[in-house]
């Protein structure tokens, strides 16, 4: 038992060590200021995906994982979406493939993009309410209700869809696809199968699953972070921070210096999910919940200290004039 614990601890130590080493390598040897943070984000996304796979190798209470993901935006905004979400990593990888083929990305009309962003709250509310409706229609035994909620079983299966984005491509359970005793999956595929059975259209289950995979891959090829625009899991404090007591939320946010902004439009052009608030807002704390805090706008802003990433009032990252050589590297 002790040896098993030591073995698992060593695995975590190796993963943490490799991640830290990778971060140091990028910070020391990556001279291009316009892509340094992008490389860091990819590294941390890969480490997060490995960590998620490792987490799911244990019988964790999925409800606790879900609550952490939904409450995280109160402190870190949508940092999870921009830096930790495995599905986000897959879409970013597809973007790299598109760039390799030198294909230009497409943009959604601003009105449609903002509508999809608001629509995700409708989806979130729907999937949170569904278990209670199912409980009324077919109530489970009272003694098993708490356990079912913790493991997202029985009537709480509907909540699994909110964990859809964190599903790794290789899963430690029996997945939809098996090759040489290795199980493969894809975000939301298991939920597509679940709802197909729920709606009694099992004959089309496999077809619908593959159609979903194809649509998200093709969509991600032409539209940057296409799923993030209406992902119900990517909830944020857009409503909560309208109340006076929550004006502090999130602690991690982008701050804009109006005096140093020349309205060059770079921040609007490079944003993967077409956030226009950084460009349009006069200055101060950027409060839009569309922002995933990927920090691409801060990284690409060519004006010194114009955009900053603040945490609890302290600046952790700021824009630099990457058009000119830095004084010290």
Query: Residue 205, class by beta-carbon neighbours within 10 Å (0-12 exposed, 13-18 middle, 19+ buried)?
Result: middle
Map residue 74 onto helix, strand or coil: helix
d(CA 90, CA 187): 10
- Cis, bond preceding 297 (omega within 30 deg of 0): no
Q: Is the dihedral of CA 273, 158, 217, 92 positive or negative?
A: positive
Nearest C-alpha neighbor of 52 from the set 182, 217, 171, 153: 171
**SS3 state of residue 2:** helix
pLDDT of the residue at 329? 47
106 beta partners: 223
- Which residue did the predictor score with more confidence, 145 or 198? 145
Mean of pLDDT values over 309-323: 90
Q: What is the mean pLDDT of the chain?
A: 87
Share of the chain above pLDDT 90, in %: 47
Predicted confidence (pLDDT) per residue in 206-236, tens digit: 888 899 999 999 999 999 999 999 898 987 7
Q: Give the pLDDT confidence score for residue 277 in this predicted structure.
A: 93
Compute how many other C-beta atoms are within 10 angstroms of the C-beta atom of residue 321: 14
| Fold classification of 251-318 (topology level) | Alpha-Beta Plaits (3.30.70)
Instruction: Enter the DSSP assignment of 80.
Output: I
pTM of the model: 0.91
Q: Would the pLDDT of 201 be above 70?
A: no
Whether pLDDT at 15 is above 70 = yes
Task: Encode pLDDT of 132-148 as tens digits.
Answer: 887 777 777 877 888 88
Greater pLDDT, 326 or 140:
140
Is a pLDDT exceeding 60 seen at residue 325?
no
> Per-domain residue ranges for the chain?
61-229, 251-318
């Amino acid at each position: 038992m002790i040896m098993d614990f030591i073995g698992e601890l060593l695995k975590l130590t190796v993963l943490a060590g490799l991640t830290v080493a990778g971060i140091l390598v990028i910070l020391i040897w990556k001279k291009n200021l316009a892509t340094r943070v992008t490389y860091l984000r990819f590294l941390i996304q890969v480490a997060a995906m490995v960590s998620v796979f490792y987490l799911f190798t244990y019988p964790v209470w999925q409800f606790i994982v879900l609550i952490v993901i939904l409450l995280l935006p109160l402190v870190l905004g949508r940092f999870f979406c921009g830096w930790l979400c495995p599905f986000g990593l897959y879409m970013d990888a597809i973007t790299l493939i598109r760039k390799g083929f030198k294909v230009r990305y497409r943009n959604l009309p601003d009105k449609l993009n903002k509508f999809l962003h608001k629509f995700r709250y409708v989806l979130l509310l729907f999937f949170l309410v569904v278990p209670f409706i199912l409980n009324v229609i077919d109530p489970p035994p009272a003694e098993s209700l708490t356990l079912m909620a913790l493991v997202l079983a029985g009537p709480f299966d509907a909540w699994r869809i909110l964990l859809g984005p964190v599903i790794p491509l290789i899963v430690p359970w029996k997945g939809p696809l098996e090759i040489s005793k290795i199980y493969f999956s894809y975000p939301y595929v298991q939920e597509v199968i679940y709802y197909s059975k729920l709606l009694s259209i099992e004959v089309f289950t496999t077809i619908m699953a593959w159609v979903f995979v194809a649509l998200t891959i093709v969509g991600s090829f032409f539209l940057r972070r296409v799923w993030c625009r209406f992902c119900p899991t990517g909830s944020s404090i857009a409503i909560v921070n309208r109340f006076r007591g929550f004006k502090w939320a999130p602690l991690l946010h982008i701050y804009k210096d109006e005096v140093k902004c020349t309205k060059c439009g770079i921040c609007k052009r490079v944003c993967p999910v077409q956030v226009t608030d950084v460009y349009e807002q006069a200055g101060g704390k950027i409060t839009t919940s569309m922002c995933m805090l990927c920090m691409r706008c801060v990284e690409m802003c060519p004006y010194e200290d114009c955009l900053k990433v603040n945490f609890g009032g302290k600046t952790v990252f700021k824009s630099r004039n990457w058009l000119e050589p830095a004084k010290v590297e």
